[in-house]
Amino acid sequence: MINQIRILSQRFYAQKGWIVLIRTRFAPSPTGFMHVGNLRTALFEYLIAKSQGGQFVLRIEDTDQERLVEGATQVIYDTLRQVGLQHDEGPDIGGEFGPYVQSERKDLYLPYAKKLVELGGAYYCFCTKERLDALHEQNAFGGYDRHCRDLPKEEVDRLLAAGTPYVIRQKMPLTGTTTYDDVVYGTISIDNKELEDQILIKSDGYPTYNFANVIDDHLMQITHVVRGCEYLTSTPKYVLLYQAFGWDVPTFVHLPLIMGKNEDGSVSKLSKRHGSTSFAGLMDEGYLAPVITNYIALLGWCPKDNRELFSLKDLEQEFSIDGISKSPAVFDYDKLTWLNGEYLRALTPEQFTELAMPYYREVFGEGEKDWSLLTTILQPRVTKLTQIPEVLSFFKELPEYPADFFVNKKSKTNLENSKTMLEEAITLLEGLENWQMDTLHDSLLELAARLGVKNGTLLWPVRIAAAGVTVTPGGAMEILTLLGKDESIRRLKLGLSKL
């Protein structure tokens, strides 16, 4: 009764031109990981609601029991939490329109389907699996032949009384067109002859996705339904269901396709061959959750000022539904990587160190290092935290390297003077008691001046011997500081042995 009053009130307000509370819902099926497309749908539904002071509902649609994956519901909860999409109602927090898991609402759907039969919008179908299979073999591209559509009521009653298995199908109009308005794509019209009499209630008593979706959206007072544009031509089925019941049709918002770049420069629908397509996969590759949220918001939506960096709070304030584009959006991994790097550089050193610590530990173990020095070196350089172990791998183990690494034209080093530089550096460093970066810096530069060589002539062979690679994050002094005295001198002596 409360729900009926609320619905009547909203209709009254809409007729008067008053503000109606916007309610959107994210209704995933727990069938695996969270795909980028699913996450974008959730994000846009969240932003449409929150940008207008509305409510965002989470509903778990588990009517397809055969495709359920154990643990997938928890993946949904975890993903929404990580990206910050806090729902106002849902299975875990409740709400006045629950339950919010479709399997827990099973008893709701059959009465509505039977009511639709009474209203003339649906019918009982008693066709056996064998008949349907034979029909499919005869016409692989045709739909159901509507064999049971016009069975006499007496025959239907007899079959029901006999316990004959059945499904309930939607009775589609055979002529004319069905038209609806989409916020993004405008007016969409479909010839009714193209619409198959789809199943609403399966033989096991469970509703199909299409039917449960409409019933739940109506009962939960969802005002805006957001989905991918691949559903543009199937939406008339939903519209006809609303109309058959005499219910208000919600506002439809169809989102453009997400495409991926192919090796030849062309684009096709985003798939695994383009790279990670799940939230978990992107996180594993080192992209941060707020960055993924930021980037996905830009897939099909353009802010008015062409800004690119957004926090979730920024998006809630800036998002407008009229900024959604019809054009396909291309998922550009290079752009995502750039955005991730920008986000990392915008962090405070303390924030970066906290996020990077698991990767630091992967290289240095549980010992203590000058973490602030590491952050100073890496924060301007890395675009993904997962790069850290590879970038710092020479700290964990000195790689094998050839003697010609010591030869560097710019630093004016060769095998002969590199040997002299290492001998002098080892003597100096062995007598150094204060192993701090400032002390190392001043002492080595003083040594270069005393030897009458440029700084690079001394520091290049020191860095090569300490790191074993020609490209390093940070210079010789930083590397020596992080290695510590004993390991630094050990490596420099190994380098000397190559000359």
Q: Are strands 177-182 and 186-191 parallel, antiparallel or unpaired?
A: antiparallel
345, 357, 379, 453 from 351: Cα distances, Å: 10, 10, 11, 40
Asked whether the beta carbons of 425 and 463 are under 8 A apart, the reply is: no
Q: How many CA atoms lie within 13 A of 280 on its CB side?
A: 10
Look up residue 175 and give its two tokens: 């002529």
Catalytic site residues?
272
CB atoms within 10 A of CB 23: 23
92, 104, 231 from 59: Cα distances, Å: 10, 11, 19
For Cα atoms 111, 116, 121, give the angle at the middle one, nearest 5 degrees: 160
Here the contacts of 379-383 (C-beta below 8 Å, separation 24 or greater) are: 379/344, 379/345, 379/347, 379/349, 379/352, 380/345, 381/473, 382/341, 382/344, 383/337, 383/338, 383/340, 383/341, 383/344
CA 248 to chain centre: 32
The torsion of the CA quartet 182, 185, 186, 191, rounded to 10 degrees, works out to: -80
The torsion of the CA quartet 325, 331, 332, 337, rounded to 10 degrees, works out to: 110
Asked whether the beta carbons of 195 and 187 are under 8 A apart, the reply is: no
Asked whether the beta carbons of 337 and 384 are under 8 A apart, the reply is: yes
Q: How many CA atoms lie within 13 A of 149 on its CB side?
A: 14
